[in-house]
Structure 1
Amino acid sequence: MVDSPALLPLVVGIGGTIGGVSSTERALAIALDAAGREGFRTRMFGGADMARLPLYDPKATTRTDDERDFVDTVRQASALIIASPGYHGSISGVVKNALDLLEETARDENRPYLADMPVGLIATAYGWQATGSTIAALRSIVHALRGWPTPFAAAVNSQVTKFDDAGGANDPAVVAQLQMVGQQVARFAPLAIPHD
């Protein structure tokens, strides 16, 4: 049994929008909370965190403190949950920029990119059309990063579903779907514990 919370495996959430707490970030928080109830530490990189990441420059010789913190945290993770709003039929630029930064892990000896890591996916959009294409784009990116998208992904129509400040939403079925994303990454994560 693990006594110290610092020794618990980590699930990292990436998602949100710039300019305040969004539906996407609230949806991600519900999924991370579900992973936490499965016995995991969690850490979210929301919109404000991603806004501090400069546009990814593959030729840069140095990285900012925020970039290093993001990459190092993902390196420690046993699982990820990625949530993106659907912008013009695909993921947002701020989420894509954060994922592009994971190129820093390409030469990691123990786990390049997201190799063998379970990754839960959430898409939010004002209407249903963009949720499907956004999830498809996220799946494609996770495959390119060698990760394992979990079988279930949550699609949230923010035109219908309204989140509240208490960490819930007006549709219990949506909350249950978001919780399932967190539960699945937690249940698959023991198969992909990061190596020292």
Structure 2
Amino acid sequence: MADTAPTDLPLVVGIGGTIGGVSSTERALMIALDSVGREGFRTRMFGGADMARLPLYDPKATSRTDAELEFVETVRQASALIIASPGYHGSISGVVKNALDLLEETAGDARPYLADMPVGLIATAYGWQATGSTIAALRSIVHALRGWPTPFAAAINTQLTKFDDAGGASEPAVLDQLVMVGQQVARFAPLAAATNG
């Protein structure tokens, strides 16, 4: 999904999904990013297809692919992030972790990693147990990357909630949760910009 809205607006980047088509995780992320867009932000999503183009992160590599360079540069420009992951075996998926590992490329930046950035979190899983552990793993990773997880995170049990192609969900409460993730990110992003400005 390309940047939306005028380029002079602050940017919120969404990272999440699975390889092999548009997933529940990706649909949930789209809903949260739409909420951010309604708050006056530009958005850019790196979904499953985008993450599939990222090679396994090699910290000793002397060059990066175009897909890696685009991902890192886009995150550098962001005022905030939303990360969405399916719960695979009780934690985040490999493709989401690989994308986040690539942010090591920002270690020497004036603003390294996700320093002082608000980060909204979404976890989807086929059952409740993995949603909780996946959110906990995401919070831990965001803290390690020096970011600020927003107070509310959306945990979605895909046994109970189904998403549709029109951007809806079978459970109105889930839609409310995803909108709240977007609203909190939008609320805290200007504070992060002031800190880093």
- The TM-score range, normalised by the shorter chain, is over 0.9
Which amino acid is the alignment partner of residue 98 of structure 1?
A
1:124 counterpart SS class: strand
Report the Cα distance in structure 1 between the residues aligned to 2:107 and 2:191, rounded to whole angstroms.
Answer: 21
Matched, 1:28 2:25: no
TM-score, reference length from structure 2:
0.96
Report the Cα distance in structure 1 between the residues aligned to 2:170 and 2:97, rounded to whole angstroms.
Answer: 29
Which amino acid is the alignment partner of residue 73 of structure 1?
T
**Other-structure match for 1:157:** 157
How far the C-alpha of 1:5 sits from its partner, in A, is 1.0
| Equivalenced residues, count | 192
Structure 1 moving runs of 4+ over 4 Å: none
Report the Cα distance in structure 1 between the residues aligned to 2:24 and 2:186, rounded to whole angstroms.
Answer: 22
Report the Cα distance in structure 2 between the residues aligned to 1:189 and 1:122, rounded to whole angstroms.
Answer: 17
**Other-structure match for 1:66:** 67
Which amino acid is the alignment partner of residue 166 of structure 1?
A
**Other-structure match for 2:113:** 113
How far the C-alpha of 1:192 sits from its partner, in A, is 1.3
Report the Cα distance in structure 1 between the residues aligned to 2:165 and 2:181, rounded to whole angstroms.
Answer: 21
**Other-structure match for 1:189:** 189
TM-score, reference length from structure 1:
0.96
- Give the RMSD, CA atoms, in angstroms: 1.1
1:58 counterpart SS class: coil
Which amino acid is the alignment partner of residue 163 of structure 2?
F
Report the Cα distance in structure 1 between the residues aligned to 2:93 and 2:138, rounded to whole angstroms.
Answer: 10
**Other-structure match for 2:92:** 91
- Give the 5 Å matches for 1:36-47: 36-47=37-48
Report the Cα distance in structure 2 between the residues aligned to 1:40 and 1:193, rounded to whole angstroms.
Answer: 13
How far the C-alpha of 1:193 sits from its partner, in A, is 1.8
- Give the 5 Å matches for 1:40-55: 40-55=41-56
Matched, 1:101 2:102: yes
Matched, 1:129 2:129: yes
Report the Cα distance in structure 2 between the residues aligned to 1:70 and 1:193, rounded to whole angstroms.
Answer: 20
Cα deviation code 1:38-63 (max 9, x no counterpart): 00000000000000000000000100
Matched, 1:142 2:166: no
Q: Taking every aligned residue pair, what percent have the same amino acid on both sides?
A: 87
Cα deviation code 1:123-172 (max 9, x no counterpart): 00000000000000000000000000000000000011000000010111
